[in-house]
Amino acid sequence: MKIISIANQKGGVAKTTTTMNLAAGLVRKGKSVLCVDFDPQSNLSDYLGYKAQDNLPTISELMMATATMQRTDVGQSIRHNVEGVDYIPSSILLSSADVFLSQVMCREQVLKRILSAPEVQLYDYVLIDCLPSLGILLTNALTASDAVLIPVQAQKFSLDGLAQLAQVIEMVKTQINPQLAICGVLLTMADNTNMSRAVEEALHGMFEDNVFATKIRRSVEAANSTYEHRSLVSRPKSKLGSEYMAVVEELLERGV
């Protein structure tokens, strides 16, 4: 079982779009995948088709209960998406994590404890869709993960926060989780502008071979896909879908 965080503290860089499409792509490759929506905005849950109508726990209740050492039933919180992706949804309650984790011992390790449940260990992959922040929820995700995948939007200012993110990854690695590694940097929303090419070049300079050979281009397909709650990889003629499948192939080739 491999746990991968999809992280970048910058907002709107395609973390959620990437999580959904890698998950659905891995399922198409015969892998079993559990997604964890770890953002109180719950965009991934919505993309996956979740409707908050049941009274079953979300990741927020699991985090709160685990933080206070209460027993939880992780299996009960796992939902099933029509494309075969399993997931634990999020809710707005997760936005109070700073408060409910503030007095907790080993507060970076709460998600790791949740994901150590036997029901979770059965999956080939767990993908964690992180929120755009460098706070305690990100450190929880990184502490629980084997690898982190960083989507970077081909835009001005996109590189500004990357050194800071790399620092947080390094800190988690040296202090709590020595096995943590960056499994790839993915250029998203690329187009034919000089800016896009400049970001791509700079990324190769910073991360060298760790940048995926595949880049994700800018297309309205992405918005349509979230609206329809269907992955891009499930659409037969989708350009973005085939790009995301190529990223899945690269991940598998890298042995992630």
Ligand X SMILES: Nc1ncnc2c1ncn2[C@@H]1O[C@H](COP(=O)(O)OP(=O)(O)OP(=O)(O)O)[C@@H](O)[C@H]1O
Candidates 223, 228, 252, 254; binder of ligand X (CB under 6 A) is 223
Taking CB under 6 A as the rule, does residue 165 contact ligand X? Answer: no
Q: Are 188 and 152 in contact (CB under 8 A)?
A: yes
Candidates 32, 117, 124, 132; binder of ligand X (CB under 6 A) is 132
Could you tell which of Mg ion, ligand X, none binds residue 219, using a CB distance below 5 to 8 A set by kind? ligand X
Nearer to Mg ion, 109 or 188 (CB): 188
Strand partners for 219: none
Nearer to Mg ion, 38 or 123 (CB): 38
Candidates 88, 165, 189, 199; binder of ligand X (CB under 6 A) is 189
Taking CB under 6 A as the rule, does residue 196 contact ligand X? Answer: no
Taking CB under 6 A as the rule, does residue 137 contact ligand X? Answer: no
Candidates 16, 77, 81, 238; binder of Mg ion (CB under 5 A) is 16
Taking CB under 6 A as the rule, does residue 95 contact ligand X? Answer: no
Stretch that binds Mg ion, among 35-43, 54-62, 146-154, 232-240 (CB under 5 A): 35-43
Taking CB under 6 A as the rule, does residue 138 contact ligand X? Answer: no
Separation of alpha carbons 45 and 41, rounded Å:
9
Stretch that binds ligand X, among 58-66, 83-91, 200-208, 214-222 (CB under 6 A): 214-222
Show the site string, 227-256: x = touches ligand X by CB under 6 A, - = not.
-------------x----------------
Taking CB under 6 A as the rule, does residue 218 contact ligand X? Answer: yes
- Please give, one letter per residue, the 3-state secondary structure of the chain: CEEEEECCCCCCCCHHHHHHHHHHHHHHCCCCEEEEEECCCCHHHHHCCCCCCCCCCCHHHHHHHHHCCCCCCCHHHCEECCCCCEEECCCHHHHHHHHHCCCCCCHHHHHHHHHCCHHHHCCCEEEEEECCCCCHHHHHHHHHCCEEEEEEECCCCCCCCHHHHHHHHHHHHHHCCCCCEEEEEEEECECCCHHHHHHHHHHHHHHHHHECCCCCECCCHHHHHHHHCCCCCCCCCCHHHHHHHHHHHHHHHCCC
Taking CB under 5 A as the rule, does residue 43 contact Mg ion? Answer: yes
Nearer to ligand X, 94 or 222 (CB): 222
